[in-house]
Amino acid sequence: MFKGSIVALITPFKNNVLDQDKYASLIHHHIKNGTNGVVPAGTTGESPTLDHDEHKKVIEIAVKETNGKIPVIAGTGSNSTSEAIELSIHAEKTGANALLIVTPYYNKPTQEGLYQHYKAINDKVGIPIIIYNIPPRSVVDMSVDTMARLFELKNISGVKDATADLNRVDEQLKKMGPEFIQLSGEDGTALEFNLRGGVGCISVTANVAPKLCSDFQNASLSKNNSNLIAKAKEINEKLMPLHKSLFIESNPSPVKYAASLLNLSSEEVRLPLVKVTEKTKKEVQKALKIAELL
């Protein structure tokens, strides 16, 4: 169920208020263009600056607008275990298909702390949980052994791996087997990630290139078809400048600027994030043109 091009949805704002109509239209845009799943309230959705009501609202809108057509993986992680449980229970009751739970940031828990955090959430819900392992943002790296231990629990189903270490794909596949869902959290390495045993990407770039990202994923997951792998490499080359330009400055400021150029969303972000510089704008524009999106 959880594979292919899954978009880490941006959260559109209008005068610093959640733009619910634009958010709904974004979701329909993704369904139309072949996106395989949506993640509301993730990092790209500016979850750190959404208040609790907004956090819950974007999940509710995603569930309503997808209407069962594609899965909703709700971002419900927190560095407070009780808060993560509350958000997770709400997401399940709302109708989300799975949860994306980031490793607790700032607290710097031990491996045992990580295990107990996820176990506590696991014990309170009844839908799949995807571990979000992103050391550059959370400052902790969940070990493969801890992940394997968690995989023994009823709801722990896979990982969004944003370590950028492709050897982790091999290690995780060897330790947990093919039933453990491995999703890339890095657009730029998604091709090699899939070729090594991954099954998709939770993508930032898919916000502005949903059809290309969907076509790329479909082709790259056809591991035994040399023609499709060649097609995946061709699309990957076309998208690579865009992947890079969207991370020149802190995500999601560049992708929101790109989305504004395509009339998908405003470029508004919430402090402490700010709009991108003129220099970055030029790089994003250039990359969109290379991808034939502008």
Q: What residues act catalytically?
A: 132, 160
Task: Write the CA distances from 248 to 18, 209, 254, 255, integer angstroms.
Answer: 25, 18, 7, 10
Cα 3 to Cα 111, 149, 208, 231, distances in angstroms: 27, 23, 19, 19
Residue 184 DSSP symbol: E
Given strand 4-8, what is the order of strands in its sheet?
A: 37-39, 4-8, 200-203, 181-184, 156-161, 129-133, 98-102, 73-75
Distance CA 236, CA 232 (A): 6
